[in-house]
Each structure stands twice: as C-alpha cells, then as structure tokens.
C-alpha cells in the first residue's frame, strides 16, 4: 500500500490485503484512522488546519453516504470556499432529499430536506451556493452567516437567495435566515469589513458600503469602505491594506503616503474620518463610541462639499444602490 494516499478498508480487502495489515498501518507504521474504515498517513495530517482536515473528512465519508444526498451546511460552505470561523468541523454535514430521518454519528450529521438544485465540487454533490448560504443563515450565528453570505454574493444573484428562502418556508430557523440575508452585502471585501458593517448597523447607524467621494468639480478623490449617516468616512485597515494596493516598484511606505494624501483631501471636504483594525473589533462598544463621537462632530460642521456616489458593483447586494448625493 502506498504511503501518500487515503486507504479504505473495503478497497484494501478487495485488493487482497488482510485486516491485520490494516491494523499494522495505524499501530506501527505511522498511519491514523481518519474515520471508521479509512486510514491516512500521519504525515499527511500533520500541520493541517481544522478546515483542511475537514476537507479530507469529506473525501473519506462521502462514498459511504446514501445515494440522493449532498454535502451541505458548514461542509458545503467549505467546498464553496466561503469564510467560516473555526470550530464545528469535526463532523461532515450532508442533506438527504427526503422529509424525515435525520441522524448523526461520530463523523456525519444527516439533515433531511429537499436540496435541489445542487452543484458539484470535485465530483462531490453539494448544495448550491445560494442554498448553502440559506442553510448557514438558518443554523449559524448571525455574524458568521452574514460574513459567508457577503462572500457568496460575489458569485450568486440575490434573487437566488430569495428563491431559497421561499423554498425554506416553514423550516426551522427560516425567520432567522430572512434577517441574516437582509443584512448581506457583497460589496464587503473581507470578513473584517462584514463584521464592522454589522456592528455599526446593529447599533443604529446608517451604513453605505464602498462609496466614491468626488470633489466640487466632479473629480474622483477616494473610494471609501463606508459612509456612515451620510457624513462620516469609516475605513477598516486589514492586514493586507498596505500590500494590496502596491503599484509596480512601490513599497508599503509609498502606499501609506498615498493614503495620507487621499485622507487629507477627504477631510478637507468636511468629512470626519475614523479608522480601525482587527484589534478594535474585539471591543465593539468602544468602536461604536468612536463612530458616534465622529457623527456628533460632523453635526457641528457645515455640510461636506463635493458629492458622493455608490462605487460600481454588480448584483452583489439586496440594498437599493443610491445615486450621487442620495446617500448623503
């Protein structure tokens, strides 16, 4: 038996190997039992993230799942490449196309519900991207579901989410799902932006994502992460911010300088500017207080000069996309 692949007991026995040879794999030869009847080299598991190990688990268990099933929920989100928080990847989620009979064992959770239409990832049947988002929205915490949904809306039409919500009428968690879907916005560029937007919206701020600010002559000055209450510019500074926008022959210091010039121009128009990072998201109350103080400062100033407009985007949000000044 090769030492770089997954070995299934049934296949090994069919190839003429004996059970004692399989026992020797994980007792003496550096293999591990991934699930009952499936073995992998310990070296293959070493250093794997929780999600990478879950991907192996999907490969291990899916051939044993009954026909008429599709990988679903968190497992489907992983196959679709959606961002998810750590934890909860110890079992593979599948959905059977039937009304009842859900069950769980040491490695699989079986849900029962209609799941058409479905997709295929690496030849594995998986619930469609839109259905996966709605399943997450029914079963995951609000923030986790919205972060995944924001990412999904870069690849699926909001109307597909509406159709899946209709199919889910009467299912457990559908009211929660409707609320989560209503908050999703594909214009968020990373989970930090998604989390920031939800914190602000849940605390009563009017938040518009990805806004372009123009000077009084109509020239584009800046594209910002959010315009809050029409008067405050808010920016999330993720780890990649100063490498993402590097131009040829530039270093991060050049990006910092260019960002400072841009921000000075925005402030000169009369907009208070608030920045934060991942560390600030750990203390949402303080973040909310900072933005609230900026809104108060803006109320004491003359209206900002120039105009604003929603940055170009596709079918990425359920929200109405306003024209210049409509969002101010």
Instruction: Name the more confident of 19 and 122.
Output: 122
3-state secondary structure of 88: coil
Neighbours of 295 (CB within 10 A): 18
Residue 316 CA to residue 240 CA, distance in Å, equals 22
Three-state secondary-structure class, residue 213: strand
The CATH code of domain 191-310 reads 3.40.960
pLDDT at 318 over 50: no
Q: What is the rounded average pLDDT of the residues 302-317?
A: 79
Residue 58 has pLDDT above 90, yes or no: yes
User: What was the pLDDT predicted at 320?
Assistant: 34
Q: Report the pLDDT value the prediction gives residue 240, as an integer from 0 to 100.
A: 55
Q: How far apart are CA 206 and CA 226, in angstroms?
A: 10
pLDDT (0 to 100) of residue 191: 95
Confirm if 307 and 214 have CB atoms less than 8 A apart. yes
pLDDT of residue 308: 94
CA 2 to each of CA 25, 37, 39, 48, 85: distance values in angstroms, whole numbers, following the listed order: 11, 16, 11, 20, 34
The residue ranking higher by pLDDT, 91 or 20, is 91
CA 203 to mean position of chain CA atoms: 22
Q: What is the pLDDT of residue 325?
A: 35
Residue with tokens 């929920």: 73
Spatial CA neighbour of 293 closest among 237, 225, 234, 226? 234
Other Cβ atoms less than 10 A from the Cβ of 309: the count is 18
- What token pair was written down for 227? 């315009």
pLDDT in tens, 105-156: 888 999 988 876 688 898 899 999 999 999 999 999 999 999 999 999 999 9
Confidence of residue 322 (pLDDT cuts 50, 70, 90): very low
- pLDDT tens-place string over residues 182-234: 999 999 999 999 999 999 999 999 999 999 999 999 999 999 999 999 999 99
Question: Containing H/E element for 59?
Answer: helix 50-61
Closest CA to 92 of 66, 115, 72, 68: 72
For residue 180, what pLDDT band results from cuts at 50, 70 and 90? very high
Least confident segment among 234-238, 248-252, 284-288: 248-252
Q: What is the pLDDT of residue 282?
A: 95
User: Which CB contacts under 8 angstroms, 24+ apart, belong to 116-123?
Assistant: 118/70, 119/80, 121/71, 121/79, 121/80, 122/79
Is residue 233 within 8 Å of 274, Cβ to Cβ?
A: yes
The domain limits of the chain are 1-47, 49-183, 191-310
């Amino acid at each position: 038996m090769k030492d770089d692949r997954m070995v299934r007991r049934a296949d090994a026995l069919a190839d003429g190997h004996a059970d004692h040879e399989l026992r020797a794999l994980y007792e003496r030869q550096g293999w591990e039992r991934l699930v009952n009847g499936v073995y992998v080299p310990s070296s293959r598991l070493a250093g794997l993230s929780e999600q990478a190990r879950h991907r192996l688990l999907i490969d291990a268990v899916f051939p044993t799942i009954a026909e008429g099933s599709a990988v679903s929920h968190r497992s489907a989100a992983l196959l679709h490449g959606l961002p998810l928080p750590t934890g909860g990847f110890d079992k593979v989620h599948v959905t059977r196309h039937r009304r009842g009979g859900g069950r769980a064992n040491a490695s699989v959770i079986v849900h029962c519900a209609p799941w058409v239409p479905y997709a295929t990832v690496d030849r594995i049947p998986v619930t469609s991207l839109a259905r996966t988002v709605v399943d997450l929205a029914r079963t995951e915490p609000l923030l986790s579901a919205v972060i995944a949904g924001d990412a999904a809306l870069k690849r699926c039409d909001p109307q597909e989410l509406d159709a899946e919500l209709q199919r889910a009428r009467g299912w457990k968690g559908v009211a929660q799902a409707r609320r989560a879907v209503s908050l999703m916005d594909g214009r968020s560029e990373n989970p930090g932006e998604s989390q920031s937007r939800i914190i602000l919206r849940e605390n009563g701020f009017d938040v518009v994502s990805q806004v372009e600010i123009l000077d009084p002559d109509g020239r584009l000055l800046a594209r910002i992460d959010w315009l809050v209450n029409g008067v405050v510019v808010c920016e999330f500074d993720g780890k990649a911010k100063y490498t993402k926008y590097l131009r040829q022959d530039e270093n991060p210091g050049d990006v910092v300088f260019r960002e400072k010039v841009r921000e000075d121009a925005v402030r000169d128009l009369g907009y208070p500017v608030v920045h934060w990072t991942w560390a600030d998201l750990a203390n949402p109350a303080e973040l909310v207080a900072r933005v609230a103080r900026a809104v108060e400062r803006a109320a004491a100033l003359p209206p900002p000069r120039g105009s604003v407009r929603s940055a170009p985007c596709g079918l990425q949000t359920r929200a109405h996309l306003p024209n210049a000044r409509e969002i101010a």
